[in-house]
Amino acid sequence: MRITHTITFLLLGAALVGVGSLALRAGAEPERTPAQRHAESVRQLVCAQPFTLDEAATHYYRAEQPRYDAGWLIVLDVDPAFVVARQTEEPVLYAGAQTLERVNHGSESGRVVCILPSPRGADGQPSLDLAAHIFFFGPEALPERIDALEAQHQLARAARSGTRPFTPDEVAAARACGGEALRVRSRDELDQLAGVLVLEHAPEDVDVGNGMLAPRVPGAAPATKPTAPRVK
Amino acid sequence: MKIAPFCAAVLIATAAPHATAQTTPAGPNAPAARGIAGLVHEEIAGRPLARFPHFDFVQSYYAGLSIEAAVDTDRHPALVGQTADVYLCAHRDEAGWAASPVLVDVRGAFQTITFASGGVQANLLTLDNGLGSLSGDVGAGLGRALDVVIDIDRDARISTGDWVDGAGSTPGLWLLAPTTAPGPLTPVEVLYSGGSFLGQDLYYPSNIATMGELPLVVVSHGNGHNYQWYDHIGLHLASYGYVVMSHQNNTVPGTETASTTTLTNTDYLLGNLATIAGGVLDGHVDRHHITWMGHSRGGEGVARAYDRMFDGQYTPVNFTLADIVLVSSIAPTDFQGNANTNPHGVPYHLWTGGADSDVNGCASCNLCQTFHLHERATGARSSISLHGVGHGAFHAGSGGLFASGPCLLTRTETHAIMKAYLLPLVEWHVKGNPAGREALWRQWESFQSPGVPTTSCTTVDLMHRGTAAQRAVIDDFETNPALDLSSSGGAVIWDVQNPGQGRLDDVNSAFTTSPSEPMNGMTFSGSVADATSGMVFEWTGVDRSIVFELVPELTDVSAWRWLSLRACQVTRSTLTTSQLGDLDFSVRLRDVNGVVSDIAIGAYGGGLEEPYQRTGCGTGAGWANEWETIRIPLADFTRGAAALDLSQLSSVEMRFGPSAGDAQGRIGLDDVEFARD
């Protein structure tokens, strides 16, 4: 039986200090090791938008199932080979020692919309510094089984493989793409924004995006399913 | 003391097949409490067989196919020379017939038959050739209930001395509409969301406001799939009077999280009927008859959801454990194992595709072996295995089929089979409608709905097992591990070659055949916690047998309907690959007087299928061992052996080799038992 509790993101964040600068991304050697492939698997931080939630939500991508009320709504460009949907275990996406929730798969476009929970800073905004964390795919596993110890283990492993954080310039560009800080009431409202991003960035996941944008009850009305993105 | 055969038949028919009314429903020929004195209840409708026992008394027919009748004058010699009229009538129970005894043939005219000597072969009658006006369309129901009456005294009334197949709690036969075709109701689809991971795609009949409470089917998709990809299930069942809700399923974190979304979405729907779709469903959803269907991770998720409720780890607001009446998994994963993903006693059903390249079934991947959950189910359980069907063929969305192997079926073909089988499945488990339940166990080769693919690539294997009350186990191989002792405690005498008994688990990582691995290709057990066991053996050109001697508690089988077993050809064995095709062997019943009767399992339209010829998972061709349930009506053993005393059997024998079927083979055997439903 699971125990839901609040996790202290600050402790996890502190563990990351300095880790990101350990190594450069691997070059374009013809033959890459699996570790190098993992190091290169997250290619770009495309967009990043901070958010806060009036109603805390559960992060199901961790064994501890922590609650969170702030974070980043992110679009990543990744190696599509790492996000092919399958029923067996898939590579787990991390930012530092935290797992990301993958809203869509993005196995054709390589664009993955993610939710990265964060503690709030003194200003009430997410305090997790995107430039201080490395983004990487860890080994295949079920995210709901990843606990703090395992996440730390995978972080150290990724750091050793040469994964580096995004540069401040890269983060700034993503912030510019993402836009101003969001304040939403609930995870449901955040889902609808995420759905829009899926339709914009990962057209192959049109059903995911449209599914997230389905009319909210009681506004449901008999309708056939949309065949094209509602939002571009 | 001997009883005249005619009278004996009457006695057997009225005594069988149900000894305890408390645990079993009324049988197809059970007389009503009030009725017509001297009315003879006999099975009449069926289908002819090319070899002994020459006729199969069945209950379900698809419209458009012929309906035959037969009378066994070997068992009823007093009929020889008599002429009688044969009617096909709308079904009534016996009290109904007593109240309204005039015979009205639904075909517009009765037939006349003069009985001849020569048993069923000499007394065949085509009741309908499938080309006439009979239709299986009976509104939202699955089939049309009919009784067959032989009007012995030819007075156009049902009366003393007449024969009837039906006139009980169930009819003589069901004429089924093609279950691949949409039902008579117009389905409506509504897409909406109740919040985060509460996106739902809802299907219901357009006139639901005028209907009563309809059963609910919940569909939980798999990882990378989408809740809008199950129109083929939603529209089909809604057209037959079901409410279907397919929901957003949180599968990426894992099957525990997926199970949560199954639970929360079911609860959400039932708790918000007054507002969803404008409230049209309010008061029209039967929350006490809920089916959970799940695909892949969602297929495990639905079983996990049931297990969480069973263990008291989750308590929904708007429904209870008892409200879940069927759990059906499509190519389920098994991440959580026996302790956590266990259907327990709920009726459980499995769909599996032989070409699945995702939940692939290979020996190297325990969590990819789809049969684990099925084998854990202790209640009624069924499975359907489809050669050439990939993981993605079960849904209607985008993306690949995730298929590997020869002779692949398309989504359209796969969905036709799904529709054909799903409707009888839910009608039986959810509504208790027996009209199509024979679809759960009759060999696919001899009983399939019009509209299913008929290419040579279409191979379907079925397993079915009733509840414990519906079975008397001779040997399930799970206790008494010695080969010479059955689990029921009877002696087992065998001379088959290379026998082995144990857990049905391929313990290495490949399907490569090896003399050192007797359980090659077995994927029923995932770990020592999964106890499903069985026997494997072979024969090579010489007659061999296994004799199960019956303990005293099992010698009287007059209350049972079938001798049932499940078996498979062992994949990649040279004894399998050297003669790919259906494999045949025989079953012999022996009574205490030494009277014997043999029936070949292939007589009913198919033996044991060869394994799907997919490569990979080691060397060679042939995927996991595909088990099939074989049910032989016990009464058929008495045809041609009227002296066989079903109340005093001494043994059940499996006979292999040139005299009994195929000259060679290597097979698995399990769940040898007497059964009734």
Chain B positions touching A223 (Cβ under 8 A) are 189-191
**The predicted structure's pLDDT at residue A34:** 67
Q: What is the three-class DSSP state of B12? A: helix
DSSP string over B528-540: TT---EEEEEEEE
Q: Which residue of B has its CA nearest to A65?
A: B257
pLDDT in tens, B379-429: 999 999 999 999 999 999 988 999 999 999 999 999 999 999 999 999 999
In this structure, are residues A92 and A83 in contact, taking their beta carbons and an 8 Å threshold? no
Place of tokens 């995210």: A143
A214 → closest Cβ in B192, B333, B335: B192
A88 → closest Cβ in B253, B278, B365: B365
Question: At A56, which helix (H) or strand (E)?
Answer: strand A42-58
**The predicted structure's pLDDT at residue A31:** 65
Chain A positions touching B358 (Cβ under 8 A) are 86-88
**The predicted structure's pLDDT at residue B11:** 30
CB contact under 8 A, A191 and B399: no
Q: Which residue of A has its CA nearest to B247?
A: A211
A&B contacts, CB < 8 Å:
124
| Burial label, B109 (beta-carbon count in 10 A; 0-12, 13-18, 19+) | exposed
Chain A positions touching B367 (Cβ under 8 A) are 88
**The predicted structure's pLDDT at residue B65:** 86
B254 → closest Cβ in A102, A142, A212: A142
CB contact under 8 A, A211 and B228: yes
Q: Smallest CA–CA separation between B219 and chain A, in Å? A: 15
CB contact under 8 A, B199 and A212: yes
What amino acid occupies position B674?
A: F
CB contact under 8 A, A217 and B275: yes
**The predicted structure's pLDDT at residue B23:** 29
CB contact under 8 A, A144 and B254: yes
In this structure, are residues B592 and B645 in contact, taking their beta carbons and an 8 Å threshold? yes
B254 → closest Cβ in A143, A215, A218: A143
**Percent of chain B whose predicted confidence (pLDDT) is above 90:** 90
Q: What is the three-class DSSP state of A30? A: coil
Q: Is the pLDDT of residue A24 over 70?
A: no
pLDDT in tens, B328-356: 999 999 999 999 999 999 999 999 999 99
CB contact under 8 A, B256 and A144: yes
Chain B positions touching A82 (Cβ under 8 A) are none
Chain A positions touching B248 (Cβ under 8 A) are 211-212
Please state the φ and ψ torsions of residue B466, each to the nearest 5 degrees.
Answer: -80, -175
Structure tokens at B348: 């459980």
- CA–CA gap between residue B328 and residue B292 (Å, rounded): 6
DSSP string over A62-125: STT--EEEEEEEEEEEE-GGG----SS-EEEEEETTEEPEES---TTT-EEEEEEE--B-TTSS
Q: Smallest CA–CA separation between A29 and chain B, in Å? A: 31
Report mean pLDDT in 10-residue bins for chain B, 677 residues.
33 29 35 73 96 96 92 95 98 94 96 97 94 74 93 97 94 94 96 96 98 98 98 98 98 98 97 95 98 98 98 97 98 97 98 98 97 98 98 94 97 98 97 95 94 94 97 97 97 98 95 95 92 97 98 98 98 96 97 98 94 97 97 95 96 98 98 94
- How many separate helices (H) and strands (E) can be counted in chain B? 9, 31
Residues 6+ apart with CB under 8 A from B161: B38, B39, B40, B152, B153
CB contact under 8 A, B193 and A188: yes
Indicate the length of chain B as a whole number: 677
pLDDT in tens, B501-551: 999 999 999 999 999 999 999 999 988 899 899 999 999 999 999 999 999
Closest CA to B559 of B646, B475, B631: B646
Chain B positions touching A207 (Cβ under 8 A) are 226, 228-229, 397-398
**The predicted structure's pLDDT at residue B130:** 84
Structure tokens at B393: 């063929």
Chain A positions touching B224 (Cβ under 8 A) are 85-86, 105, 107
DSSP string over B583-622: B--EEEEEETT--EEEEEGGGGT--BPPPP--B-SSSSB-
Closest CA to B546 of B594, B491, B625, B597: B491
Closest CA to B39 of B103, B108, B113: B103
Q: Smallest CA–CA separation between B461 and chain A, in Å? A: 24
Interface test with A, best of B190, B193, B228 (most A CBs within 10 A): B193
Strand partners, A45: A76
ipTM of the complex: 0.89
What amino acid occupies position B603?
A: A
Q: Which residue of A has its CA nearest to B392?
A: A86
CB contact under 8 A, B192 and A217: yes
Closest CA to B214 of B236, B243, B189: B243
Q: Smallest CA–CA separation between A113 and chain B, in Å? A: 13
Q: Smallest CA–CA separation between A3 and chain B, in Å? A: 12
CB contact under 8 A, B228 and A144: no
CB contact under 8 A, A211 and B313: no
What amino acid occupies position B432?
A: G
CB contact under 8 A, A223 and B297: no
Spell out the alpha helix ranges (H) of B25-184: 94-99
Order of strands across the sheet that contains B199-205: B187-193, B199-205, B243-247, B214-220, B285-295, B324-330, B348-353, B381-386, B460-465
Q: Which pLDDT band holds residue A5 (cuts at 50, 70, 90)?
A: very low
CB contact under 8 A, A211 and B226: yes
A211 → closest Cβ in B248, B368, B399: B248
In this structure, are residues A185 and A191 in contact, taking their beta carbons and an 8 Å threshold? no
Strand partners, A93: A137
- CA–CA gap between residue A210 and residue B240 (Å, rounded): 28
Interface test with A, best of B188, B196, B366 (most A CBs within 10 A): B196
Cβ–Cβ contacts within 10 Å for residue B237, how many?
29
B335 → closest Cβ in A61, A142, A188: A142
Chain A positions touching B352 (Cβ under 8 A) are none
A223 → closest Cβ in B190, B256, B359: B190
pLDDT in tens, B608-665: 999 999 999 999 999 999 999 999 999 999 998 989 999 999 999 999 999 999 999 9
CB contact under 8 A, A217 and B358: no
Residues 6+ apart with CB under 8 A from B486: B474, B475, B480, B492, B548, B549, B672
Chain A positions touching B278 (Cβ under 8 A) are 218, 220-221
**The predicted structure's pLDDT at residue B163:** 97
CB contact under 8 A, A88 and B188: no
B190 → closest Cβ in A143, A187, A220: A220
Structure tokens at B353: 């595709």
- The predicted model scores a pTM of 0.91
Chain A positions touching B269 (Cβ under 8 A) are none
**The predicted structure's pLDDT at residue B586:** 98
Q: Side-chain half-sphere of B344: how many Cα atoms within 13 Å?
A: 16
CB contact under 8 A, A144 and B188: no
In this structure, are residues B471 and B487 in contact, taking their beta carbons and an 8 Å threshold? no
Interface test with B, best of A2, A59, A87 (most B CBs within 10 A): A87
The alpha-carbon radius of gyration of chain A (Å, integer) is: 17
Q: Which residue of A has its CA nearest to B366?
A: A88
Sign of the dihedral defined by the CA atoms of residues A70, A76, A79, A81, in that order:
positive
Q: Smallest CA–CA separation between A187 and chain B, in Å? A: 6
What integer best gives the mean pLDDT of chain A?
84
Chain B positions touching A101 (Cβ under 8 A) are 252-253
CB contact under 8 A, A218 and B199: no
Please state the φ and ψ torsions of residue A179, each to the nearest 5 degrees.
Answer: 95, -170
Q: Which residue of A has its CA nearest to B368?
A: A88
DSSP string over A182-200: EEESSHHHHHHHHHHHHHH
Q: Which long-range contacts (CB under 8 A, 24 or more apart) does B211-214 make?
A: B211/B241, B211/B284, B212/B284, B212/B286, B213/B283, B213/B284, B213/B285, B213/B286, B214/B241, B214/B242, B214/B243, B214/B284, B214/B285, B214/B286
- CA–CA gap between residue B481 and residue B220 (Å, rounded): 39
CB contact under 8 A, A105 and B255: no
In this structure, are residues B586 and B543 in contact, taking their beta carbons and an 8 Å threshold? no
Ramachandran quadrant class, A179 (left: phi over 0; alpha: psi -120 to 50; beta: rest): left
**The predicted structure's pLDDT at residue B79:** 97
